Chains A and B, each alone.
Chain A
Amino acid sequence: MKVEFRNISMTYGTNLVLDDISLSVAEGEFVCLLGPSGCGKSTLLNIAGGFVKPERGEVRIGDEPVTGPDPRRIFVFQERGVFPWLTVEQNIAFGLFRQTEAERRSRVAHYVSLVGLRGFEKAYPRELSGGMKQRLEVARALAVDPDVLYLDEPFGALDSITRLQMRRELLRIWQAEKKTILFVTHDIDESVQLADRVVVLSARPGRLRRIVDIDVPHPRDFSDPRYIALRDEIFCEIGLAHQV
């Protein structure tokens, strides 16, 4: 489903956090919202999710304006969003209360194996690693067959090796399920590895600085000159020298 931000502005108190953001995301597209901490990118995602009302402007999904949270678009947090009192199966089935028992069971089985949690159906989140919990949360979101997935720095709490694996997993799932994905991150490499387009936001107030098309085919090679060129371009755009 197409997601369209129309002239979104937002202030908290006297602070302007988002300044006139307009952006159109095509159906099935993977878009990263990239910006420094406090640039309002999470706020933008929360507005798209219907959890926060923008001060001005609106978000339209398909032909409808967003007026509140909706199971057709699911928000994925860091792995802490899974319900610790439910097993893996029960977490995935959480949103499936409108389905029949048979439908519920087949969807749970499908997504358990899609995210590689077979054998852990009866496990509780405390028995899972951080990466497994994150995959569980993605499975719970996908199980209700949403049109759009919103991911808010989902891999931020994972170690760097798990994070790389999770990105590969997410791309595989995205290609299998063909969802529209909006992914918030402050990690430039992550955005270039994942997105079709990277939307670069400026620091406070968040303004749309640039949209960079990542025209590198998957699987992306980190040493591909085109990959490096695009990454460097975004580094410069954000105003960082690529040296430590």
Chain B
Amino acid sequence: MRRELLERIALPLGVTVALIAAWHLAVAVSGTSIFPAPADVVRGLGEQPRLGGYIRDSLFRVASGYLVAVVLGIPIGLALGWWSGLARAANPLIQMLRPISPLAWMPLAVIWFGVSNLAPIFLIFLASFFPVVVATMNGVRNIPPMYVQAGRNFGLSTAALLRRVVLPAILPRVAVGLRISFGIAWLVLVAAEMIAVDSGLGYLIIDARNAGQRYDLVVGGMLLIGIIGLALDGLLRMVERRVTW
């Protein structure tokens, strides 16, 4: 128990503190003016009156885009995994669209959605949609055939089979896919907020550079994105463990 506590909490904490100390020393010793010290970052962020609002806006955009991706992606992935003909028909299109970075859609997003929340939400949706579809589809394809056979044997209709057998059978695998997709959604946040909006953590970073070379805020924004991403990932891991039978 004590050993585990040491390894899981004390050790990572120690390494983090040591790295921050090294960072502080490196800035102090080199006397650089293009990279802020840790204290500057904390002070800079503390002086930002809109920081809370930025975090809220970013979370809202990522959550909206991601939820739309999940709500559309799971049924589509389910259908593609179940009806192999459908998958054969749609696969070339999916495989072609998948490698296009969501950022390539930026000009179109601006034209379609104008200066609004919808543009970054759309980009975040695009980033997480395909991973959700593919994770669900692969989950369905890898179901042990005897589960489906047993379901049919007991006289389930296709709809009941999908709901009572296929969905619960793929849930653990899909949960992992959903967590990874969320990571991707969070990853494109900065880029998505470079366009069309004037709030959010991504905007904070771009604005800090454009409006006066505030590298303390640039680094602060980066760190906040990392810390919030870590916390959300931990939250989703907890959900994942609960749905794993």
8 Å CB contact of A69 from B153, B160, B165, B168: B153
A75 touching B245 in the complex, CB below 8 Å, given contacts A83-B165, A95-B155: no
A83 touching B147 in the complex, CB below 8 Å, given contacts A71-B154, A94-B154, A95-B155: yes
8 Å CB contact of B146 from A74, A77, A94: A77
A14-39 Cβ-contact flags toward B at 8 Å (1 or 0): 00000000000000000000000000
Q: How many positions in chain A have a CB within 8 Å of any CB in the partner chain?
A: 20
Q: How far is the CB of A146 from chain B (nearest CB, A)?
A: 9
B112-125 Cβ-contact flags toward A at 8 Å (1 or 0): 00000000000000
Any chain A CB within 8 A of the CB of B149?
A: yes
Q: What residues on A are CB-neighbors of B168 within 8 Å?
A: 83, 85-86
Q: What residues on A are CB-neighbors of B154 within 8 Å?
A: 71, 74, 94-95, 144
The 3 closest A-B pairs by CB, nearest first: A95-B154, A85-B245, A85-B168
Q: How far is the CB of A176 from chain B (nearest CB, A)?
A: 22
Any chain B CB within 8 A of the CB of A130?
A: no
A88-112 Cβ-contact flags toward B at 8 Å (1 or 0): 0000001101000000000000000
Any chain B CB within 8 A of the CB of A124?
A: yes
Q: How many positions in chain B have a CB within 8 Å of any CB in the partner chain?
A: 16
A71 touches B150 (CB 8 A): no
Q: What residues on B are CB-neighbors of A70 within 8 Å?
A: 153, 155
Which among B147, B150, B168, B169 has the greatest number of chain A C-beta atoms within 10 A? B150
A60-78 Cβ-contact flags toward B at 8 Å (1 or 0): 0000000001110011010
A71 touches B153 (CB 8 A): yes
Count CB-based A-B contacts (< 8 Å).
Answer: 44
Any chain A CB within 8 A of the CB of B85?
A: no
Any chain A CB within 8 A of the CB of B237?
A: no
Dominant SS among interface residues on chain B: helix
Known: A69-B155, A81-B146, A95-B155; 20 extra A-B contacts, CB below 8 A, are A51-B149, A69-B149, A71-B154, A74-B153, A75-B149, A75-B150, A75-B153, A77-B146, A77-B149, A80-B146, A83-B150, A83-B168, A85-B169, A85-B171, A85-B245, A94-B154, A94-B164, A95-B154, A97-B160, A126-B245
Q: What residues on B are CB-neighbors of A116 within 8 Å?
A: none
19 of the cross-chain contacts (CB-CB < 8 Å) are A51-B149, A51-B152, A69-B149, A69-B153, A69-B155, A71-B155, A74-B154, A77-B149, A80-B146, A81-B147, A83-B147, A83-B150, A83-B168, A83-B169, A86-B168, A94-B154, A94-B164, A95-B154, A95-B155
Any chain B CB within 8 A of the CB of A206?
A: no
Q: How far is the CB of A46 from chain B (nearest CB, A)?
A: 9
Compute how far the CA of A144 lies from the CA of B153 in the bound complex, rounded to whole angstroms: 11
Compute how far the CA of A69 lies from the CA of B153 in the bound complex, rounded to whole angstroms: 5
A80 touching B144 in the complex, CB below 8 Å, given contacts A74-B153, A85-B171: yes
